[in-house]
Structure 1
Amino acid sequence: MTLYENWTAVPHGARGSAVALGNFDGVHLGHAHLLKSLHAARPDLPLGVVTFEPHPREFFRPQDPPVRLMLPPVRARFLHELGVKQIFQLPFDADFSHMPPERFVEDVLHHGLGVQHVACGPDFAFGHRRAGDIGYLGHRLETFGIGLTIVPPLTDISGPFSSSRIRRLLQEGYPERAAEELGRPWFITGAVAHGDKRGRLLGFPTANIPLGRHVEPARGVYAATIRHPDGRISSGVANIGRRPTINDGQESRLEVHLFDVSEDLYGQVLEVSLHKLLREERRFDGLDALKAQIAEDASQARAVLSPAI
C-alpha cells in the first residue's frame, strides 16, 4: 500500500485506480462494505481511497472536543487490511475547503489522480459548502469517462452504520456495541508518558497515555486489553477521566494498569482496547476507599476478559 499526500504530484504508475470517497474514520464495517462493493464493480482496477486530513470537522470546528476514532497511521493500516493499494490523503485546508465541486472532480479526481472509477454512499457531498451531491458527481464524472457506483449504506435495526453512531456509542459507555460496528474492539493508541506515580503508591501502577485527538469515551473504568509494540497482548483495567478523588485538574486522561506486567513502558506506543465499562467515574472518601475500589475493578476486569484472553 502506498500513501500519497500531494494530489498535484501523483506519479504515473499510481493513476488509473478505482477509489472510494470518504473520511473513513474508524474503518468500520460500513466502510468495508463500501470497499467490497467497489472491488466487485471494478475488480480489474487497483483499489484506492480518497480521504482527507485533518477531518473536515476538525478543520471547521477546532474549538470542539476531539472526534477521531483513529489517527491516520491506524486508518491506513486497517484500509490496507481491506485490500486498499493506494490512499490519496488530501490536505484539508482553507484553499481546499473553498474548492468548487466542479474543480474537485476535474482538477483532483480526473487530472490530479487520474481515477477510472469512483464509489461513494448516497449521501456523499463535496465542494465548497457541500454544494456537490451524487447527482452532480455522476454527471461530471461521466464527461471524463469515469464510472460511478453508488453504494447503499450497510444497516441494521438501528439504521446505517456510521462513524458518528460509533462515537455516540463510545460516549454513552457502550464499547462492546461500538466493537460490533467496527468489527473489532475500539482502541486508543499513544506513547506512555510520565505521570505523578500516584497509581504506584496505591499498589496499582499505571501507564499514562494522552487521549490526544481521540474522541473521549464515557468517563469511568473499563476492562481493557493492551497490545504491545512487539505484538504481545496483556489484559488490564483502564480509567478514563479526571480522577475526582485526587482532584488533579481538568484534563481527562487514560490510565491503564496492566495485569502481571512489571516492565518499563515509558515511551512505548501501546494500543489500549476498551471492552466493557465497569463503572462510571465517581469520587471516593479518601485514598483507602479508592484503593479498595481499584482492587474490585481489577477483579471484575479479569472476570470480563478471561474468555477473551
Structure 2
Amino acid sequence: MTQSQPTALTIGNFDGVHAGHAALFREVVSAADRMGLVPTVVTLNPHPKEFFDPTYRLQRITTFRDRVVAMKNCGIRQVVVLPFDKAMASLPPESFVKDVLCRQLNARQIWVGDDFRFGARRAGDYHLLKSLSPAMGFQVNDLPEVQINHQRVSSSQIREALNKGDVSTAQAMLGHPLCYSGHIIHGKKLGRKLGFPTMNLRIQGRASALSGILAVWVHGLDANPLPAVASLGLRPTVEDSNQILLETFIPGWTGNAYGKRVTIEVAQHLRPELKFDSLDAMVNRMHQDTATALNILKTAPSHL
C-alpha cells in the first residue's frame, strides 16, 4: 500500500476511544485541516501482547466496529489496520518509520506518547522518531494528557472500573456512553423456551473488560430507545465455550430483530455473571434482574 496524499497520523490501540483519545484526535484533525493532510489513525491487529503470548487475553472495552465509529465521529477520515505478524514483529524500528510511516502512509505529522515503543524488540521510541524526522520530512508531536478528578484518563483505568462494574466512572473517562453495536445473530433460542427471548450480539475478542448482567437501552428497533436487561459474558450455566455474547431481553417487545443493526447502551451494571445449579434457579433470578433493570431505567435516561 502506498498513500499518495500526505497524512497527519497517530498510532495506538485506542480501545474505547476515551476522552484522552478524543482530545488527541481533535489535534490531529485540526493540524490536518490546516496543512491539507488526511487525518489518520494507525492501529495493529492482533494486539502485540496477544501475538507474542497466545494465552494472553486483552480485556477489550469496545468492539473494533465501535472504535472505528468513534474515531470517525472525532473527524478521523482514515483508519489503517496493520497486521501484526512475524514480519511486523521483526521489523527494525528505522525500517518501520521509513517503509511504513513514510513510504506507505506518507506521514508529515505524527503524534505519539513518550512511552510509545515500536519495531523489533521495542527498540524504537519517541526520541528515535524525533531524530529521524528532519531527514524523512515529518514532524513529531507529544500526545496531550487528559485528567478527570486529578486522575490521568487511560484505557487501563477504564478497564479497572469496568472490571468492578463501575460503569459511571468508566463512562466519565470515556466521555461518552458505553455502547456495543452490531447485527443480531441467531442463537440456540433457549431464552425463548424459558420465557426470555433474547437478541444476540457476538462480541469479538478473547475477553471483555465488562461482564455480567446489565440494565441497557436498545437503539435501532424503534423510534425511541427501548428499556431492556442484558447479559454480557460466556453463559456458564448453559454453555461451555469461549464465545462472548451480549444477550438482550426487551420486555414486551415482539418484533423480529434478526439481521438488524442495533446499538446497546449500558446504563448500569447489576451483578456478575453466575453459574446456577438449575435452569429454574436461573429463570427466577432473570425475573428479578428484569424487574431491577426496568426500575433503574425509569430514572436513568438514554444519553445517545
The answer to whether the superposition gives a TM-score over 0.5 is yes
8 A Cα contact 2:60 2:209, kept in partner: no
Which shifted more, 103-112 or 45-54?
45-54
Q: CA deviation at 1:113?
A: 1.6
Distance 1:64 1:232, change over 3 A: farther
Distance 1:89 1:284, change over 3 A: closer
The corresponding residue for 1:44 is 35
Quick one: distance in 2 between partners of 1:217 and 1:75? 15
Q: CA deviation at 1:288?
A: 4.5
Equivalent of residue 18 in structure 1, options 8, 11, 17: 8
The answer to whether the aligner puts 1:9 opposite 2:9 as a matched pair is: no
Which shifted more, 201-210 or 73-82?
201-210
Equivalent of residue 192 in structure 2, options 200, 204, 213: 200
The corresponding residue for 1:146 is 138
8 A Cα contact 2:221 2:257, kept in partner: no
Distance 1:66 1:117, change over 3 A: closer
TM-score normalised over the length of structure 2: 0.86
Across the aligned residues of Structure 1 and Structure 2, the Cα RMSD in angstroms comes to: 2.6
Q: Secondary structure in 1 aligned to 2:218? A: strand
Q: Secondary structure in 1 aligned to 2:80? A: strand
Q: CA deviation at 1:273?
A: 2.7
Distance 1:138 1:257, change over 3 A: same
Distance 1:214 1:169, change over 3 A: farther
8 A Cα contact 1:209 1:254, kept in partner: yes
Q: CA deviation at 1:54?
A: 2.6
Amino-acid identity (%):
33
Equivalent of residue 222 in structure 1, options 205, 214, 234: 214
Quick one: distance in 2 between partners of 1:228 and 1:131? 46
The corresponding residue for 2:181 is 189
Quick one: distance in 2 between partners of 1:20 and 1:163? 16
Distance 1:151 1:21, change over 3 A: same
Per-residue CA deviation, residues 228-258 of structure 1 (Å, 9 max, x unaligned), is 37886322101234555x4543545432101
8 A Cα contact 2:276 2:282, kept in partner: yes
Distance 1:64 1:230, change over 3 A: farther
Which shifted more, 177-186 or 58-67?
58-67
Task: Give the number of aligned pairs.
Answer: 298
Q: CA deviation at 1:82?
A: 0.6
Q: Which runs of 5+ in 1 are unaligned?
A: 1-7
**1:268-283 superposed matches below 5 A:** 268-283=260-275
TM-score normalised over the length of structure 1: 0.84
Equivalent of residue 291 in structure 1, options 269, 283, 304: 283
Equivalent of residue 49 in structure 2, options 54, 57, 60: 57
The corresponding residue for 2:297 is 305
Per-residue CA deviation, residues 189-232 of structure 1 (Å, 9 max, x unaligned), is 34433334332233221123333316324543110122337886
Per-residue CA deviation, residues 256-293 of structure 1 (Å, 9 max, x unaligned), is 10133211223334332322111233455654544333
Q: Secondary structure in 1 aligned to 2:42? A: strand
Quick one: distance in 2 between partners of 1:72 and 1:229? 22
Q: Which runs of 5+ in 2 are unaligned?
A: none
Quick one: distance in 2 between partners of 1:214 and 1:270? 22
